[in-house]
Amino acid sequence: MKNSENSNHEKTSNGTNNKNLFVQPSSKAASELKDLFIDSLKDIFWAENALVGALPKMGANATAASLVSAIKEHLAVTKNQVLRLEKIFDLLGEKAEGKKCEAMSGLLKEGDSILEETMPGAVRDAGIIAASQKIEHYEIATYGTLVAFAKTLGENDVAKLLTQTLAEEKEADCVLNDIALNAVNIVAAK
């Protein structure tokens, strides 16, 4: 919208041009960063548990030995990330519980469709890598934010634990990059 068109529109206190776009908070809305932090931990706790359930299927559909073993390795790492989150909830005096992560749910659905849409072999491997990297990038974004929240809140032990997971997600993304560059894409292009 052009600025000239806005002049007659009422502005809300936060400067938005259309008050119809403003979302009224629910009765349970977080008013403190700590609450948003806990909610975000519940979201990623759900997501990591969903991944523990989904990674075996990805591994079972991969062909390249390097990809199969990378997925197997990341499954073990992911199981440990679930335990680390349980430790984090414990440190914060909160109950370890998940809250459905719509983003991870969507990424996993997309991963399932990629399996249906590709023939087993190099092309399906390329699809599995693509889907897995979207998942790792989502996790990297999430843990990056969680580390920042933990530091802001002065939860330094929690920040350290979250930083370990962040490093593992970055490592997994690098491994997938290497596999894609070294093997799968070369074969898939033939």
Site for Fe ion in 32-61 (CB under 5 A): none
Contacted entry of Zn ion, Fe ion, none for residue 188, CB cut-off 5 to 8 Å set by kind: none
Q: Which of residues 61-90 bind Fe ion (CB under 5 A)?
A: 78, 81
Q: Which of 103, 92, 125 is nearest to 48 (CA)?
A: 103
140 touches Zn ion by CB under 5 A: no
Looking from the CA of 45 toward its CB, the CA atoms found within 13 Å total 19
Among 111, 56, 85, which residue's Cα sits nearest to residue 166? 85
Task: Please identify which residue in 37, 43, 128, 159 interacts with Zn ion, judged by CB under 5 A.
Answer: 43
The 99-118 contact track toward Zn ion, x by CB under 5 A, reads: --x-x---------------
Of these partners, Zn ion, Fe ion, none, which one is at the site of residue 49 (CB under 5 to 8 Å by kind)?
none
Partner in contact with 81, chosen from Fe ion, Zn ion, none, beta carbon below 5 to 8 Å by kind: Fe ion
CA angle 140, 117, 106 (to 5 degrees): 35
- Each residue 119-148 as x (binds Fe ion by CB under 5 A) or -, in order, gives --------------------x---------
Please tell me the distance from the alpha carbon of residue 5 to that of residue 73, in angstroms, as a whole number: 56
C-beta contacts of 119-124 below 8 A and 24+ residues apart? 120/61, 120/63, 121/63, 122/63, 122/64, 122/184, 122/187, 122/188, 122/190, 123/188, 124/61, 124/62, 124/63
Select from Fe ion, Zn ion, none the partner in contact with residue 43, using the beta carbon and a kind-dependent cut-off of 5 to 8 Å.
Zn ion
Residues that bind Fe ion (CB under 5 A): 78, 81, 103, 139, 169, 172
Residues that bind Zn ion (CB under 5 A): 43, 101, 103
